[in-house]
Structure 1
Amino acid sequence: MTKIKQINVPELLKELEEHLTSLNYGQEPTELYQPIDYIMQLGGKRIRPLLTLLAYRLYKDDHQSILTPASAIEVFHNFTLMHDDIMDEAPLRRGNPTVHERWNANTAILSGDVMLVKAYDMLLEILPQYLPKTLRLFNKTAAEVCEGQQLDMNFETRDQVSEAEYLEMIRLKTAVLLGFSLQLGAILAGASDEDSQALYDFGVNVGIGFQLKDDLLDVYADKAKFGKQVGGDIISNKKTFLLIKAKETAKGKQLEKLDKWLETSDTKTNEVKVKEVTAIFTENAINTLTEKKMAGYFEQGFSQLERLEVQNQQALQTLKTLTEDLIDRES
């Protein structure tokens, strides 16, 4: 019997980082290619390509053979961030100036376009028998991410957004790429269609749960551990799950107060606004409601893993542990 190689997540991440660093996006004009190197060197958790490698390791040991396709997902993800930052007029990304701030918006658009092209180029390293299916699924996922971003922008100009609309938006904008990352690893390892789909469904469900967790942390996180401004979503009137449920449940004077704060644009009152809106959330048990919703998605996700027929149980446990650590994070 072939001995199964042990999985070391820090080692996988190190291999990924070295591979990403070795990529050559192009040289001239430097104004086009330097921004790509810049955003890729800003770091990040590299969760998506890591999930691809872990899904592959459920069935095969030679994950080095798929480092380039796995890295393509990270390149695509950073392309979406570069363009999102332009649309959001965001000044910072991971504590550093965004590409459009350091260079300009036109350069950021063009550099992002090249990143998308590079991601396709990297996917061409996939074995021919898996390439057509993979590209179709990638194209579907890429379009859905754009749909989610457009919905998110649409919500900014709407007074009312339903819970179902919000959950669909975060499924598209965030969760489907996590699902595809896992599905990609399974496909490249030759897993069954049933297992590939189960891993995709696992990724989508936990992805929705992760976004709900982010919504909750933005309001209730320990400021010392959070790493960014607590209450930022409240200050910007972002239509998160918490705000949507608060508008559904608040009544009378409480609803009047919430509406008053949503109409306030005076930045001098931000601290009071965060405090009072958070109090409304707590009084209506919105934090508990969000935790319950999150738990439902996480439970639904983990149930998908019970359907798998994997070769490496240690890899499965590693995937579960990594996900649980992300669920339990405080920042």
Structure 2
Amino acid sequence: MSLEVFLNAIQTEIANTKYGESPVELYEPIEYLMSLGGKKMRPLLAVMATNIFSDNWQKAVKPALGVEVFHNFTLMHDDIMDAAPLRRGKPTVHEKWNENIAILSGDVMLVCAYELMTAVDDKIFKHVIRRFNRTAAEVCEGQQWDMNFATRNDVTEDEYINMIRLKTSVLLGFSLELGGLIAEAGDEATQLLYDFGTNIGIGFQLKDDILDVYGDPEKFGKQVGGDIIENKKTWLLLKALELSAGKKEEAELQFWINAKEFDKEEKVKAVRAIYDSLNIKHLAENKMNTYFNQGLEDLVKLNAPSDKKQPLIELTKQLIERES
């Protein structure tokens, strides 16, 4: 079974899903955000995990969409917190409508996510909801840690990895776990699926950090160097601060971090040059590959036919090689 087959089923489900009709200001933003594209990685993972252990992978599509709706709910609220003008190249909901509508529509999206999740069999319903609740709380914990880091100068590498594990990767892990639960794969297999997801999720975010500094502007889809401009505490910046201690690069890096007025392009170019002198890109890629490789090892341990696991391997390779 190819990725395209699974993705087409998910896209069809999205197109056919109605979240509500009136008042239109409440529901139109949901349909708008859900129509903006994106990789649909989370529902894809859930459906592919189900397919490994069940021929009836279609039964995972609706609850998998619940994960995607939840993910987009977090994006809608994150955009408000970040005052972001664009999402996937289009105006964010709070820009197109207003902040109050975006908050309320986001709240309804969370309700809709739970409604879609009720499509699972009754015998696993309580367990699925308990795991979904825990995961949702962890995503919020990750977002709060990320905000906390903005005002801290002592963030460690381990703290950063834990933050992206919570903010990004646990939802990928849950998506795969959900697929395992729907397919009745058993506790050991379901745990391996979850571990696979959390590991590739950390790798995915580290890849995002690298692309933000070194990506092709025409392919990346957003401003290259945005993290540098904002002094965002990514793995690259934390490693650069660590390795530059006591060296000439330390003063240069601190100058740009503390600068209140600067030319954005000049700052990005200067900080990137510091990263290059410290070999940061290579180190970041090694760190990223450590997590992707660990995820692939989890998949090797999964007791299932190789051809059934192949779509997950293909997707992982795409994540490693992606340019946007």
What is the aligned counterpart of 1:35 among 16, 29, 33? 29
Asked if the contact 1:58–1:313 (Cα under 8 Å) also holds between the matched residues in 2, the reply is: no
Deviation digits for residues 81-104 of structure 1, max 9, x if unmatched? 000000001000001100011111
Q: 2:232 is paired with a residue of what secondary structure?
A: coil
Asked if the contact 2:88–2:221 (Cα under 8 Å) also holds between the matched residues in 1, the reply is: no
Alignment of 1:270-285 (within 5 A): 270-285=264-279
Match of 1:326 in 2: 319
Asked if the contact 2:202–2:291 (Cα under 8 Å) also holds between the matched residues in 1, the reply is: yes
Count of matched residue pairs: 323
2:12 aligned with 1:15? no
Which consecutive residues of structure 1, in runs of 5 or more, have no partner in the other structure?
A: 1-6
* Paired letter, 2:111: V
Match of 1:302 in 2: 296
Alignment of 1:131-170 (within 5 A): 131-170=125-164
Runs ≥4 residues deviating over 6 A: none
Match of 2:199 in 1: 205
* Paired letter, 1:255: E
CA distance in 2, matches of 1:225, 1:92: 16
Asked if the contact 1:210–1:327 (Cα under 8 Å) also holds between the matched residues in 2, the reply is: yes
Alignment of 1:91-106 (within 5 A): 91-106=85-100
CA distance in 2, matches of 1:123, 1:103: 28
User: Among the aligned pairs, what percent are the same residue?
Assistant: 55
Asked if the contact 2:89–2:221 (Cα under 8 Å) also holds between the matched residues in 1, the reply is: no
Deviation digits for residues 108-146 of structure 1, max 9, x if unmatched? 111001010111111111101111111111001000000
CA distance in 1, matches of 2:34, 2:222: 21
2:194 aligned with 1:192? no
CA distance in 1, matches of 2:247, 2:44: 48
How far is 1:156 from its partner? Answer: 0.9
What is the alpha-carbon root mean square deviation over aligned residues? 1.1
How far is 1:191 from its partner? Answer: 0.3
Normalised TM-score (structure 1): 0.95
Which consecutive residues of structure 2, in runs of 5 or more, have no partner in the other structure?
A: none
Of the structure 1 ranges 72-81 and 156-165, higher mean CA displacement relative to structure 2 is found in: 156-165
How far is 1:36 from its partner? Answer: 0.6
Asked if the contact 2:89–2:222 (Cα under 8 Å) also holds between the matched residues in 1, the reply is: no
CA distance in 1, matches of 2:220, 2:20: 36
Closer, same or farther: CA 186–41 of 1 in aligned 2, 3 Å: same
What is the aligned counterpart of 1:53 among 47, 70, 73? 47
* Paired letter, 2:311: T
Alignment of 1:65-144 (within 5 A): 65-144=59-138
